[in-house]
A and B are shown apart, each in its own frame.
Chain A
């Protein structure tokens, strides 16, 4: 018996939220309404998605590696050029971060990934053949893809009501599930007290620079400086840095390669939700029962197919175990999934 498809409201404007909305409609036949901030797609990118991040939990690295191929195929359908293969540099100078990078290196190598140690000060790792996400082509094509899938896109102006049981209401439409899929959605729809129980906010700074000469490594993550640098195809640098100490710009200056002195072309300030134990938050919260997705990190978009399956009850055993272990209701103290929050 073919019943009515489940109505799902996806709230969020990040590339991950948009892709998730599309996947729920395309691969799982859900009736999806996307509540997104208007015109956020033309704004500065807030993260530099990469298929491989300096993480320390092998199961997360494994999941990201397993789903990357599928995500790349989906993204190719959305926008040719939305992804590209690249090498990524992960660098650290401080002891704790160096130790974390060592653990990442051996775990990634155990899964067959080539992660070379470079003869730099501290520890520098070159991860070969990662997949990088490009915001511009995706932003240009995503609306057409969503329209083609019948995803209804609504300007998120607070008209959606999220009930205590995790369902939602918007005009005459009732949603069996409301998924808060990016940080802004979470801070908009959840009360601060409930959020404080699972995550803290981290002030961030994002920059776009003028074009510079090609860098030796297109993507670099400076772990202890908490700076990520990616070079766009046109030569401009996209930079995202933590700014909780007000030293973001100085740490960026210290992280740029010698001789690279770009000028800013755009800048933004925003906050990032950081789960208390550094690991992703997947699933309903204890009190509000809203289904949240937070702290998925820089490879969020590459995890989207697995997350979509989990939401629809179609996840593999490994995917379900990974998501269940990262339930938003978990106790962050002594968490067995606590992650190195690079």
Chain B
């Protein structure tokens, strides 16, 4: 069946405003494999829809294809051109296009190649993720093709970003609004309507319409900001000219930059947390809402947040068989749970995945009791595992701009501290949780930057009696050595340690010391995962973020300033080398041979100890050999010996040249 992971026509209203046009199907190839999609798909969404759900392997285990692991791609023939590389998640799927993924591949043996002919198409892009990925992508080294300036650059087109852009425009500012997704609005709709608040979809529709009508606001959707320095936001997008997708490297400079980048989803840490089929709930929501893609026909939902239950409801509404949900919190209360009960879902509280194994597209999920650690009876079998692990403010741009972050123990996440040039936060990235709070925060930030007025922002929360606060990050150590890795983060190979070897095996196996620092630039999510799982002290967060959360650029060659290249006079490091009376002499080399500077001079041929040397060759100037000599009652015509490696050559003193020291 073509596009096995595309949702059927029966979908909840939340998944009905997709960016795709199901009436217009298209075909393209990636690495020679034909993929079927719809117009409006990105290459990533089309791949997932068509059953490709694996980016490659790391440490011998497959890794899910998602927004974090999706490699850069290029049109066939351009793979070696970093300036023509495009993000897979932003590149439109174009009918007839031939794409190639960029990354290291595992070597395929001839036998495996032969087997491939007779087997089902692979679900994997076949990347070797052990070699690491240069995230965000090769375009970070290419200069911007076009620069644009504005008074205010807003990064993020969610409720906070839209509100900030509108308020800035009302303050007579020229505004550029940058949004990574193809559709404005962010993920507010995923959170649903709360009592006493406007419906997110209605608010977003109003804001989007106002932005579209505001001539002072220029919107760039499908554009990802990856760097920010001195008020310049570097972005990558993909434009299509004549049916051919091309990367579009743009730079936007603004007097003010508002980061309305929202929150990233924390990764719960347990063995198998990055296997194919395992994915974050916001990524799942984006794929379903924007592209009607839901990999797998059945799902287990594990959530430490209230909104995670909503994903179960939406999935069920879209015809997905929700097998069960689990939550590490003991007795969570949320309106979504009541709905789940009404749907008849099996809910499990105080439990979390202890291991997840994957075979032939099916996951085997085993839960453990949070309190006792005891494994629960029976495994859950589902084609996907949706994880909602809580929130980490999206700080990558902030840190790359020179901002710092600290660990907030109460919220169990990194939070920004201090200042970074002209940057300011708004919305969820600034810690606001409610829809009105995010909207007001966007407006207040714009007001504060442009007119200096400070406004108090209300961020109404539902009473914890009715809505239990989101849970803390959780991690579950591997109980055996043969389990898939429990990745601490999204970027590198860092994972929870396996149980130590025991007995003879431990005696015979020499364990290599763990490399404390991975050779890879990190995302703030990686640092958060390392702190949450105890690998890194919370107090180390500022230093680690500053040192590690960088853009993995190369070292650009550049013309160097001219070096001084003279060696006049006696170098200071020879001062007093042969005592207070040392002096410079001209020498006569009887054999006519040339000596390197540094050759040591001795009174006889036996001595070799540099500490017993009586002088040293300084070099040859205008054909005259000179040496620095100790004051030892020697005079013109006396013979001394030059040692050059194993050879020792007689040389005669000519005259004292200049007295040093």
Question: Which residues in A have some Cβ–Cβ distance to B below 8 Å?
Answer: 38-40, 42-44, 56-59, 61-62, 79-81, 93-96, 99-107, 109-111, 136-137, 139-141, 208-211, 224, 232-236, 245, 247, 249-254, 256, 261-268, 277-278, 334-340
Q: Nearest B residue to A252 by beta-carbon distance? A: B555
Known: A109-B645, A334-B661, A336-B575. 4 other contacts (CB 8 A): A81-B512, A102-B598, A209-B519, A266-B550
A335 shortest CB reach to chain B, Å: 6
Q: Is the CB of A95 within 8 A of B565?
A: yes
How many residues from B make CB contacts under 8 Å with A?
64
Interface locus among B108-116, B220-228, B605-613 = B605-613
Interface locus among B261-269, B291-299, B532-540 = B532-540
Residue numbers in A under 8 Å from B509 (CB-CB): none
A54 shortest CB reach to chain B, Å: 11
The 3 closest A-B pairs by CB, nearest first: A336-B576, A236-B519, A102-B598
Q: Is the CB of B571 within 8 A of A43?
A: no
Cα–Cα, bound, A250→B559 (Å): 7
Cα–Cα, bound, A40→B517 (Å): 13
Cα–Cα, bound, A110→B512 (Å): 37
Residue numbers in A under 8 Å from B518 (CB-CB): 265
Neighbour of A107 across the interface among B564, B571, B580, B598, CB < 8 A: B598
**Can you list 8 contacts pairing A with B, beta carbon distance less than 8 Å?**
A39-B543, A62-B610, A99-B597, A107-B600, A110-B610, A235-B519, A264-B550, A266-B547
Question: Which residues in B have some Cβ–Cβ distance to A below 8 Å?
Answer: 131-132, 134, 512-521, 536-537, 539-540, 543-544, 546-548, 550-561, 563-567, 571-577, 580, 596-600, 608-611, 613, 616, 618-619, 643-645, 661
Q: Is the CB of A96 within 8 A of B598?
A: no
Cα–Cα, bound, A109→B272 (Å): 56
Q: Nearest A residue to B493 by beta-carbon distance? A: A234
Residue numbers in A under 8 Å from B517 (CB-CB): 42, 44, 136, 208, 266
Neighbour of B558 across the interface among A42, A103, A110, A253, CB < 8 A: A253
B448 shortest CB reach to chain A, Å: 30
Q: Is the CB of A43 within 8 A of B645?
A: no
B103 shortest CB reach to chain A, Å: 13
Residue numbers in B under 8 Å from A42 (CB-CB): 516-517, 536-537, 540, 543-544
B83 shortest CB reach to chain A, Å: 15
Cα–Cα, bound, A211→B493 (Å): 13
Residue numbers in B under 8 Å from A104 (CB-CB): 598
Neighbour of B555 across the interface among A107, A249, A338, CB < 8 A: A249
A55 shortest CB reach to chain B, Å: 8
Q: Is the CB of B513 within 8 A of A261?
A: no
Residue numbers in B under 8 Å from A236 (CB-CB): 519
Q: Is the CB of A265 within 8 A of B520?
A: yes
Residue numbers in A under 8 Å from B618 (CB-CB): 99
Cα–Cα, bound, A261→B597 (Å): 35
Residue numbers in A under 8 Å from B616 (CB-CB): 103, 106
Q: Nearest B residue to A334 by beta-carbon distance? A: B575
Residue numbers in B under 8 Å from A256 (CB-CB): 555
Q: Is the CB of A39 within 8 A of B537?
A: yes
Q: Is the CB of A79 within 8 A of B513?
A: yes
Q: Is the CB of A110 within 8 A of B547?
A: no
B258 shortest CB reach to chain A, Å: 27
A62-B611 CB under 8 A given contacts A251-B560, A265-B518, A265-B520 = yes
Q: Is the CB of B596 within 8 A of A263?
A: no
Q: Is the CB of A96 within 8 A of B608?
A: no
Residue numbers in A under 8 Å from B547 (CB-CB): 43-44, 266-268
Neighbour of A99 across the interface among B552, B571, B600, CB < 8 A: B571
Residue numbers in B under 8 Å from A278 (CB-CB): 572-573
Q: Is the CB of B599 within 8 A of A106?
A: yes
Residue numbers in B under 8 Å from A105 (CB-CB): 596, 598
B510 shortest CB reach to chain A, Å: 9
Cα–Cα, bound, A107→B561 (Å): 32
Q: Is the CB of A250 within 8 A of B556?
A: yes
Residue numbers in B under 8 Å from A102 (CB-CB): 596-598
